[in-house]
Amino acid sequence: MNIRLRQSPELPGKADLEARACIVLALADKPARWPRSLPWRASILHHYQLLNKPEVGTLTLPQARGIPLSYTVLAADSPPFVRLERARRLVAAHHARRPGDMALVLAGYSPAEGLMVAEALLSAALASAAPLPNFRKDHRPSRLTRLYLYGHSEPDGFRRSFCEAEGNALARRLAMLPGNQLSPADYLSQLRELAAVHDWQLKFMDEAALARRGAGAFLSVSAGSAHRDAGIAHLQYRPARRRRRRVALVGKGICYDTGGVNLKPARYMYGMHADMQGSAVALGTLLALSRLQVDFPVDCWLALARNDIGPNASVPNDVVTAVDGTTIEVVHTDAEGRMVLADTLALARRTRGLALLLDYATLTGACVQALGSGYSGVFSNRAEWLPALLAAGRNCGERIWPFPMDADYDRNLESDIADVKQCSLRGDADHILAARFLSRFVGDVPWIHLDLSASSCKGGLAHIPTELTGFGVRLSLHVLLDSVLNDI
Ligand SMILES: [Zn+2]
């Protein structure tokens, strides 16, 4: 993304705005307190009253060569999610005209409030400009390359927001690629390019390497594919001067999920090219952390496979052995995410000095049923973290909701023939059973599991304008960089 930002702590003059292709305006308060020096104040006020105080108003400024302006009155204490949603709608008002530049204007906020509102507007503008796959003949990508912020200025030029936007855009770009354009092999070649550019180490354990390690859970999923390109990618970011704590990010990367021999019906299979979004979010988070040059090492483990149907595909009642020796009875081949993650988590937890293991997966329909697509589910083997994680979701605008994972849920996973069942055919609380299943492979390492029910949301979510949201990059940066958890 090649977007430049110019900032000014002052309100713009008319001449400043007349040079812009479009204007986004956030006003702190009721009209009586709108700054007198706000350009076209009377026109905007007239429009605001005429339309009976719209949440988002759009007008064309006749005095200013017909420049389009979108505006909102947004109280500084609005919840962060509302702030981001409003920012998305303000920016979306200009989308069809494909502006090359955009003025972001804040009026009436204190410096601390201005920072939060500016961050929302900027994040929405960056999210809207992300170059994303589209194969239509008439597709015309965003032309936005310059942003002009008035009414607030940050010394570092919002570096973190830019890095976060880049990470989120990477996650969405990969998730949007159709299955025939992002096989595990394609994914790996993209990882090789990224690793070269960003100076990450990359190791790839292919099926043969995984067989040597005894990763039978992972291999029970990849066995159905006609291609032998599945495997676990391990990327490492190493800072020049490192702190001792290490963080591992783990992601589910099922490049297409047919369900396997328990084949999905059409309605539920459509969209399953995005069943790798957990891995893309882990990767996007790695990219953002690496661009920010954080001072702690980050390991990123991506489980890349397709869940296909074929002569070698697993069937229910198969018993397989995971990398840590746990025997698993296969119950439903569409519960493949927890199988590939079992081995990947078991490998990732062996990292020495691990302060946090964080995994991301589009794991269960049960989580979507419980929360819809506006929230993602969060689980942890450190129950005392859950209040802080709930608050973290609220504060950054990528909202998460905690679920219990008490040990007695395990009675649903008892098998007569193996250590554990993969899942239960009863289907209730499957998101909790999946988390219980995964927890076996994590042991006592501090662990957070995100079931990404908010990975796909019609009409976009928060500041993100696309249905596939890349949910999790923003949340992860907040959790990892803003002292959300005392012990991390
Ligand atoms: Zn599945």
59-111 confidence digits (pLDDT tens):
998 777 789 999 999 998 999 999 999 999 999 999 999 999 999 999 999 99
Q: What percent of the chain has pLDDT over 90?
A: 94
Say whether pLDDT at 267 is over 80: yes
Q: Which of 245, 264, 382, 394 is catalytic?
A: 264
Per the document, the length of the chain is 488
279-310: b (≥16 Cβ within 10 Å) or e: bbbbbbbbbbbbbbebebbbbbbbbbbbbbee
Contacts of residue 348, Cβ cutoff 8 Å, sequence gap at least 6 = 248, 250, 299, 301, 354, 357
Contact 433, 425 (CB under 8 A): no
Q: Out of 73-87, 110-124, 230-244, 275-289, which region has the weakest mean confidence (pLDDT)?
A: 230-244
Q: How far is the CA of 268 from the centre of ligand 1 (A)?
A: 10
Predicted pLDDT of residue 345 = 98
At 446-461, the pLDDT tens digits run 999 999 999 999 999 9
Contact 235, 188 (CB under 8 A): no
Mean pLDDT, the chain, integer? 96
* Distance of CA 483 from the midpoint of ligand 1 (Å): 35
Question: Which segments within 322-392 are labelled E, that is strand?
Answer: 327-329, 354-361, 376-380
pLDDT confidence tier of residue 5, bands split at 50, 70 and 90: very high
Alpha helices in 423-472, H assignment, sequence order: 430-442
Which pLDDT band, with edges at 50, 70 and 90, does 245 fall under?
Answer: confident
Percent of the chain with pLDDT over 70: 100
CA 333 – CA 248 distance, rounded (Å):
27
User: What distance in angstroms lies between residue 188's CA and the mean position of ligand 1's atoms?
Assistant: 21
Q: What is the pLDDT of residues 330-365, one digit of tens each?
A: 999 999 999 999 999 999 999 989 999 999 999 999
Distance 306 CA to ligand 1 centre (A): 10
Report all structural domains of the chain as residue ranges with CATH numbers, in order of start: 4-157 (3.40.220.10), 162-481 (3.40.630.10)
More confident residue, 483 or 358: 358
pLDDT at position 296 over 80: yes
pTM: 0.97
Say which of 83, 246, 338, 421 is annotated catalytic: 338
Is 338 among the catalytic positions?
yes
Q: How close is the Cα of 336 to the center of ligand 1, in Å?
A: 5
pLDDT band at 486 (very low <50, low <70, confident <90, very high): confident
